[in-house]
Amino acid sequence: MDTDAEFDRLVLFEQIRKAAEATYVKNPLDADNLTRWGGALLEVAQFHNVSDSKQIIQDAISKLEEALLIDPKKHDALWCMGNAYTSFAFLTPEETEAKYNFDLATHFFQQAVDEQPENELYLKSLEMTAKAPLLHTEVHRQGLGSQPLGGDGPSAAPSSKVVKGKRSSDVKYDVLGWVILAIGVVAWVGFAKANAPVTTAPR
């Protein structure tokens, strides 16, 4: 994995987070800003260990809940909430608790689809969440659930723990559990850039 690219991504989302925090002080009722803040936190969470990641994800959920209190039909905030609960579920080894979070994720993804039925990303997210519990079981069976989400996690875990005695196709299946955590990475970069031009010129 390109560590420079990973670092650049972390810097980008930290920048978005700080800009959103500053904007919030001036205008706490800006739902777009709260959504950016929550989404940036979800991305930042991928670079931390499990315990810290879960706390950051909870902070993201809090920001997204604020956005949805202001605008309950805000489809991008609903979609980010789905991502937040999906990520939280994958970091939760206990299956009953994980399923509860996957169910919440499905609820929010469905709401996002209801608000914007033609959005292929929302539809794909809803579809992938249906498969998430099976992937969750596989991830934790292989012991990958204790790995960091970012940088060292998905790339290091298969090479150090899983590859031994397994076919490459099996390894790819194991890694799928981590892919779902990054459902929104590429799309979110585009969303953040489109909605937060301050990221190129922070104050």
pLDDT the model gives residue 143: 65
Q: Is residue 104 part of a domain?
A: yes
| Domain enclosing residue 99, as ranges | 3-142
pLDDT score of 37: 94
What was the pLDDT predicted at 51? 86
Whose structure tokens read 């972390």? 10
What is the average pLDDT value for the chain, to the nearest integer? 76
Least confident of 81-90, 135-144, 152-161, 183-192: 152-161
Residue 203 lies in a domain: no
**What does the alpha-carbon distance between residue 184 and residue 83 come to, in Å, rounded to a whole number?**
7
- For the chain, the domain total comes to 1
Among 1-15, 55-69, 133-147, whose mean pLDDT is lowest? Answer: 133-147
pLDDT at 178: 38
Q: Tell me whether residue 201 is in a domain.
A: no
Rounded-to-integer distance, Cα 98 and Cα 132, Å: 10
Residue 133: CATH number of its domain: 1.25.40.10
